[in-house]
Structure 1
Amino acid sequence: MKFMKLGSKPDAFQADGKSIRYVSSELATDVIINVGEVKFYLHKFPLLSKSNRLQKLVSKANEENSEEVYMVDFPGGPKSFEICAKFCYGMTVTLNAYNVVAARCAAEYLEMTRMLIAVT
C-alpha cells in the first residue's frame, strides 16, 4: 500500500475490490460516502470545503451519530462521484466526451460551484 506524507496531495483513489474506494493517507478517514453499491472512505475537510450538499448531509449524519452518508440516486453513479471527489482533493481530473456530462450533473447535484465554473 502506498502512503503519503502529511500535507502532500494524493494522486489517485485506491480500490479494495469493486465496492470500496479510499485515499491513501496517514490521516484516518472520517466520513464514508455510499454511492450506489460503492463505499468511499474519505476526509471531511476537502469535501465539505467544496460541496454545499455534502456539508448538509454530513451535518445531518453527525446529528444522527453516524459517519456514513447515503446517496442512492446519485447522477452518473460512483464514477461521476469519484470525479467530483478527486476535484475536491485537488487531484488531476480528466474530462472528456464520455464523462463531462455526468461530471457536470454530479457537480450540480453536490452544489459544487467551483467545479461547475471549471466544467462550463
Structure 2
Amino acid sequence: MTISDVLSDLTIEVRSTSFALHKFPLVSQSGRTRKLLLEAKDTNVSRINLTSGGSNAFELAVKFYYGVNVEITISNMVLLKCAARFIEMTEDIFEKNLEIRTEVFLKDVVFPNISNSISVLHRCEILLSVSEEVNLVS
C-alpha cells in the first residue's frame, strides 16, 4: 500500500495544482491550515484554496508534513523558508518544524560561506516580497 492508496480527506489547491492530503498531519504542523479549517463555515470542509504561494514550495512542505526526508539545499532553501512561514510551520505549532530546519541551514551552511549567501540571495528574487518578509534578504 502506498500513500496514494489511502483516501485523502482534504484537497488543497495552490494556484493550478491540487494536492490530495489528510487533515491530521496538516493541522498538527501548519498553523495556517488549522486556522482555515477552524474558520470554515462548513465543518466538513474538504477543499482549501491557497491563493498565494507556489505549488513547488508547497509540495516540498507537504513532503515534510508526511515525514519524507526533505534535504534542504542552496537551491530549495528559499522555497522552503517562504513556504514554512506562509503555512505557519513554526515552533509554537510543532517542535521539529520546517522553519527551524531552514534557520539551522542558514546559520550552518549559508551565512558562513559568501558564495552560498549570494546564491541564496539570487534565489530570493523569484519570491522577493515573501523573502523580504521572512528576513532572508536582510
The TM-score range, normalised by the shorter chain, is 0.7 to 0.9
Select the structure that is richer in strand.
Answer: 1
- Consecutive unaligned residues of structure 1, counting only runs of 5 or more, are 5-22
Match of 2:76 among 67, 83, 99: 99
Letter in 1 for 2:63: K
Q: Percent identity?
A: 36
For 2:76 and 2:46, the matched residues in 1 are separated by: 29
Higher percent of residues as helix: 2
Unaligned runs of 5+ in 2: 91-96, 104-138
Larger Rg: 2
TM-score by length of 1: 0.73
Q: CA deviation at 1:97?
A: 1.4
TM-score, structure 2 normalization: 0.64
* Deviations, residues 69-88 of structure 1 (Å, cap 9, x unaligned): 001111xx001001111111
Residue 116 in structure 1 maps to residue 99 in structure 2: yes
Cα offsets for 1:25-67 (capped at 9, x unmatched) = 33x2000000010000000111111001110112233x23531
Q: CA RMSD in A?
A: 1.4
1:103 partner amino acid:
L
